[in-house]
Structures are given as structure tokens and as C-alpha cells.
A and B are shown apart, each in its own frame.
Chain A
């Protein structure tokens, strides 16, 4: 485990992190006075939250609090949008703690900070963000990896944190982590050697592949593509509007079930409405049989002609 006295400083998802643990997946940055600093510490976590409002198979949620024990790894206690306490299990590897921290704990933190975490990867095109949202396994990270290989900057590969700019009210995406999470078969298809990545967990053929840089500042969002695969022959794309758009974005909200018990129903739905009203969204269907090369060209052409 890292020495408790040493601190590490990062910027990700619109917040500065003052951490007890080293995170090679995050952009090093020293806190500026403008933004809130989230403190990450090792410590004792409760077995049960006091004002418990909801619990699932693992998680507990209470107003402004989230508790998540992961067997043999660690328990994460996220509080008030500015504090994360980690209680590691004995002999756990730090890389395993980071896997769950960067997804679940940071996702809960985003809700607590009234941000909108969307299950989506994102790339930068002409200074704006293109988001690819969809279920696990639909190819979000693969698409981000392919666009990265084509020279596009990746903003995030798993969770897109959407925030509202305080003064202008504009919806922006915050830069995420300097890593793509890729399965071995995707590494192979992207011609990335296993040595270029880091195995995320023993027993899992999934790698962290470092990417050299991500945008430094929040970006305007050009469009959200709702990605799916289907057994047809043609690549299909069509605008999503109204109820259909609302339903897609709500369904792809990261851990939507935390919103009510943590006490953010109203601001969350206001932000969801803003997203639906302000951002163009398209349903994008990739045929099972379609190779990614043609698909990427199709998508690239679509977002170029729909600027």
C-alpha cells in the first residue's frame, strides 16, 4: 500500500483529486483555487450507512453518501461530493482498487457533485466532443480505440461526465482518464501488443492501455450517438427525438438508481432535460457482420456532415 503521508494530485472529471494513492490513469495536476478538491484517503468505512435510503446487492446509499464494498478488494465510501475513503482488503493489489475506484466511486462522486455521468465513450472532433453511448459490450471503448488510432483525441472511454458551465449554462463534457480499458481481442484487432497495456486484474483478460494525452479543458458537445448492434445488413443512423431520446439517455445514465436515495432527484432530472433539449442525439446501429473499418468511416462521415 502507498505511504499514507505521501500525497498525489490529479485532475479528472472536472475535479482536482488530492490522493493517498497513486493513479497512473489520471492526469497529474496541482489544485487551482477555482475548483473543488476531492480528498481521497485510506481509512475505516462503516458497515452500514446511518440514514440508509436504498441498498442493492453491494451498495448502500443515503443522502450525500455512497458505500460500496467489493469482496477481496476494498470498500469505498463517497461523501458529500468531496471525500472518498478507501478501506482496502489485506494483500490487495492497488491496481484492483483503482479499477473499482475509477468506475463506481468516481461515478457516485459525479452524482454527488450534480454532474451527469453518462455511460459513453467520447472523442474530440474539431474542438468538440462526439459521444458514443450504449450498453456494456456494444463497442464504446473499441470505437474510442479506433478513433484514437486514427489520430483523434480520446476524452473518455467509459463514463462521460457532463457538466453545466456556471456562467453560460452551456453543457460541457469533462476530460476523463488517460487510459483505455480494452479486452484482449480488441487489443489484437487494434494491433496493440499486450506489453503496451497493463493487465487490470488477475484472471481478467482486460488491459489498461495508456493514451498520451486527453483534452485539458471541458469541451462543448456536438452530438451523442446511441450505439447498438443489430442483425441487419446496413449501418443505420437516424435522429433521436422526444421521448425516445429521453428514454435512451436516462437508461444510459451511470448508476441512475443512486440519484433518488442520495437526494439529487430534482437537479438530476433538470440536467437530463437540458441534455435532451440542447444536444443532438442519433441512434447508430452497426450490423453484427459489419467490420469496424467501414463503420468508423461511416461514423466519421456522419459527424463531419452534421457539424
Chain B
């Protein structure tokens, strides 16, 4: 077993909230530093992977990078020597020669955060600065690749897939790694309870007071106000801002009935499985 606990999700599902909470709780830092996320980087950050690859990833082909990634995470896990968290947006996949993207040697476990796609859509459209219809189409692209292959982005390209594919790929994966499924809606309704469960899953001990303090420090309204003063570092290039509403069931006000029907037609099967229908 390795040291990495993956915080995995489809975009706009609450991953950043979980990361901010964990950073606030577990990693002491200067309270004046806005959006402290340094201890939990994204697993596809080029500079992070360059450090473990011993060559520049930009000198490798996409095929070579995909083949190399599992080894880089094993190296990161072994050098860390203790539990580390990494954010992941990849769908579950294998390398060109069939190795799992994340191996048991690298992995302690995975927290998979899932959110009602009806609520994701408006947030995702805002994030990409696209229309809701375009976001619905994007969420149904089976071969969706995030980041570009033909230019040098700070994030390497990775397979995102459709929303249904993403969820299914991790919840039914054959990697034999422990997966803790965290629903955004549960976290929203009972943050102390569900953040505590995440900490238990990671075998980390914290008092309820500490958890409450971290929840208060990463309250959505506070983050929004903070973003009015300081730009959020992971904001999409085209988006006006990162933190939007963060609500549950907001789709009832934001989507037309045709749009709702289209999402249900695309993802109904998985939504039923998760209790969203």
C-alpha cells in the first residue's frame, strides 16, 4: 500500500472545497495567505510530474507520458513517506500497455466526490465560460480530453470522459483500491459529519472543534468574498471567477425543462444508481 489519498471527482463537484478544508485543518499556514492549496496539488500538474520524471515531460510524447504516470505517482508516494493528498480529475484508465493509472503501490485510498449533474451543469458552463447547452454537450463527450496535447500547458492532457463514464469508471474500477464515495449534497447538508468521515477514512485524528473551525474558515460565502479581493489561482482562463453559488438543487432555477430532460437522457442510468432520480 502507498501513501497517496486521491481526491477524485468530475470538475465542479466539490473537490476544491474538500482540498481547502483539508489544507486549513491539516497544514498550518499563514492565515493571511488566501486560498491555501499548496499541500494538495493536482496530480496532472506538469511541474509536479517533471520533478519525479527525471526528464521534462514536454520532451515526451503523449503515449510516453501516459505510460510513465503510474511510476511517477509511485515515486511520489515513496518519497513522501507519509499520507499525502492529491487532487485528480482523470477518469479511471489504463496506460497504453495496460497498467492501472494509479497503482496499489502508490495508493492508500480514494475519496470520490460525486455531485448531481443537474447542479454541475450551470457551474461547469460558468467555469468554461460556455452556454449551458454547450456544457451539457461537454458532459456527454465520451472521449473528452482535458488540457491540450499540441501545446505546453501547466496541466498535462488527461482523459475526463463523460460525467457518467467518469463516475462509473471509478465506482466500478478493478484497481482493488479502497474508495470512499462522498456526495456533495451530503457534505453540504452535514459538513461536520461527512468531513469527519473523510478524516476517518484517511486514518487522521482531529477534534470536532478543529473540524468546525476549518469548516468555518472555508465557508463558501467567505471564499466568494475572498475571491472579490484576490483571484483564485485555479480559475479557468475564460471564467469571470471560480466560486459561483455552490448550492444544492439550484438547477431548478437555472435549467429549462428541455435541458433537464437532456441531462436525464444522457445520464439517467447513473443518476438513478446514485439516488439523484
Contact = CB atoms under 8 A, between A and B. Distances in A.
B57 A231 contact: no
A56 B233 CA distance: 30
B237 A59 contact: no
The main secondary structure of chain A at its interface with chain B is loop
Nearest to B57: A136
A288 B237 contact: yes
A135 B59 contact: no
A289 interface: yes
B194 interface: no
Contact of A185 (B55, B64, B75, B150): B150
A201 B55 contact: no
Interface stretch (B109-117, B151-159, B176-184): B151-159
Interface stretch (B6-14, B46-54, B246-254, B259-267): B46-54
Contacts of A183: 58, 150-152
A135 B57 CA distance: 12
A108 to B, nearest CB: 10
Nearest to B155: A137
A103 interface: yes
Q: Most chain-B Cβ atoms within 10 A of its Cβ — which of A59, A202, A205?
A: A205
Contacts of B53: 57-58
Interface residues on B, range: 20 to 34
Contacts of B58: 136-137, 183, 206
Q: Most chain-B Cβ atoms within 10 A of its Cβ — which of A136, A186, A202, A289?
A: A136
B56 interface: yes
A138 interface: yes
Contacts of A201: 59, 61
B233 A230 contact: yes
A257 B54 CA distance: 9
Interface in A228-255: 229-232, 255
Contacts of B232: 231
A184 B71 contact: no
Given A135-B47, A183-B151, A184-B150, A59 B54 contact: yes
A137 B54 contact: no
A99 B54 CA distance: 14
B231 A185 contact: no
B203 interface: no
Contacts, number: 86
Contacts of A204: 59-61
B42 to A, nearest CB: 13
Nearest to B150: A205
Contact of A135 (B54, B154, B231): B154
A103 B149 CA distance: 21
Nearest to B53: A57
Contacts of A206: 58-59
A188 B64 CA distance: 25
B244 interface: no
Interface string A104-116: 1000000000000
A203 B235 CA distance: 30
Contacts of B150: 183-185, 205
Interface string B74-91: 010000000000000000
Given A103-B56, A136-B46, A288-B237, A185 B72 contact: no
Contacts of A70: 55
B270 to A, nearest CB: 32
B63 A203 contact: yes
A58 B52 CA distance: 9
Interface string A190-208: 0000000000111111100
20 contacts: A56-B52, A57-B68, A59-B54, A70-B55, A100-B55, A103-B55, A104-B55, A135-B47, A135-B50, A136-B46, A137-B58, A137-B153, A183-B152, A200-B59, A204-B61, A205-B149, A229-B154, A231-B233, A231-B235, A255-B54
**A-B pairs, 6 with minimum CB distance:** A135-B47, A203-B61, A231-B235, A185-B151, A231-B231, A59-B54
Interface of B: 46-47, 50-64, 68, 71-72, 75, 149-154, 231-235, 237, 242
